[in-house]
Amino acid sequence: MADVPFDPSIIGTSRNGGTLLVTRDRLRLFAKATGQTDPVFIDLDAATKAGHRDLPVPPTFFFAVSLEAPDPFDYLADLGVDLRAILHGEQAFVYHRVACAGDELSTRATITDTYSKKGGALNFLVTETVVTNQDGAVVATLTETLVQRQIQEVNA
């Protein structure tokens, strides 16, 4: 697979991502894995006392929803990308409303930009992912930048 700039015609291309029923156990595991110390993310009493209807989703959890698709990186293969050449460049989140345990979250991603730097040695792919709940309300918007770097093949 060649390391070439992304074709600008892919801008605007959308795909459905994963769907995830958010459970308390999953939220507690995520909170532990990410070092959350606020009891609102692990203790139901603390969450309800803080005004939440259940355990709230920790801030960066929304990224995990996209990974629930059967093959979350198949679109990169469709673009001819060698996954060994991909780096995670940047991630940003905009929160629109609180999601809690019991919500079913779904994602839809759209490629919003492509560009190159260093004479094509680094090719960038920017994607905006909208996370909605079971009612269709937008919960969060994620912007992710992936970097495709040139890889050197080593002949043994």
Diameter of the chain measured on Cα atoms: 62
From the list 123, 121, 113, the residue with the least C-alpha distance to 147 is 123
Q: What do you get for the CA distance between the two ends of the chain, in Å? A: 19
From the list 5, 28, 12, 15, the residue with the least C-alpha distance to 107 is 15
111 vs 2, more confident: 111
Q: Is 31 left (phi over 0), alpha (psi -120 to 50) or beta?
A: alpha
Which residues, at least 6 apart from 123, have a Cβ–Cβ distance to it below 8 Å? 3, 4, 5, 6, 114, 115, 116, 147, 148, 149
Residue 123: strand, helix, or coil: strand
State the pTM of this model. 0.86
Q: Which two tokens stand for residue 95?
A: 């929160």
pLDDT in tens, 101-150: 999 999 999 999 999 998 888 999 999 999 999 999 999 999 999 999 87
pLDDT in tens, 11-68: 999 998 889 999 999 999 999 999 999 999 999 999 999 999 999 999 889 988 888 8
pLDDT in tens, 58-104: 988 998 888 887 788 888 888 888 888 899 999 999 999 999 999 99
Q: What is the pLDDT of residue 38?
A: 95
Q: What is the pLDDT of residue 153?
A: 60
In sequence order, the β-bridge partners of residue 108 are: 16, 130
